[in-house]
Structure 1
Amino acid sequence: MQQKLFSNVVTVDAESKQVQQVLANPQYLLEWVPEITMVKQNDKKFTINRAETALNQHEVVRVKRNANEIRYVSTEGRLEYEIAFLITGEGKRTIIQEDVYVPEKAHLHLPLKLLAPIAKHAFNTNLNNLASLIEKISI
């Protein structure tokens, strides 16, 4: 079972198709998540490394794609998690809702209540970076 840790929302001046194209290709993570230094594709999985000390300095991510949702499923790090990006297009604007889920029985050295606000802020910063990148690409 998983529990939702937090949600973030951003509006992008781009069509939902462009948002999906960027999110479906984890190579773009190098451009919107500053601490990521390597994204290597192996089959349908992506190995990700971070330069700075992070909860998951190394992880493997699978991308799952549905009609209006793209999910990143992270494994092989200290904390396994899922990010669901819900994509709602409104003409030339798109709302991206990012929901982060963790296992109910996550084994960490600090409580999720302490981790959640720190992670929410970091993920929100990256989500805004994503929005800027998509707007730059779609001009």
Structure 2
Amino acid sequence: MSGEQLMTGILTDRAPKPAGHYAQAVVSGGAHVFVSGQLPIRPDGRPLEDDGFEAQARQAIHNMLEIVRAAGSSPQQIVKVTAYIVGIANWARFNAVYASMLPDACPARSVVPVPELHYGYLVEIDAIAVREP
């Protein structure tokens, strides 16, 4: 390989700062972007004005998209998304928000119903994207 690092951490102020020992995303080999799980937390850390399911889904997806962009990729270059949602009854609601926010992207996707998430949130989303090396 050239002199490029094998892994580069990504940090943008357009998404919440990591609250633990992890990066918002890591670019591997210059071409693959691995976005850490994003909760519905505003970039400035303040609570959402509306904490309903749809608002939480929008914020979590927004955070993921901002990190993808900061890594030099785009929504159209996302290849895999995994969403963890509290309650299978929220599946259709998640799908509607997701489709509205990624209208031109259709990556592989898994939606995993879970009984609960950290801090009582209702959605967490991670992604894998590609970019030109």
TM-score, normalised with respect to structure 2: 0.30
Higher strand share: 1
TM-score, normalised with respect to structure 1: 0.29
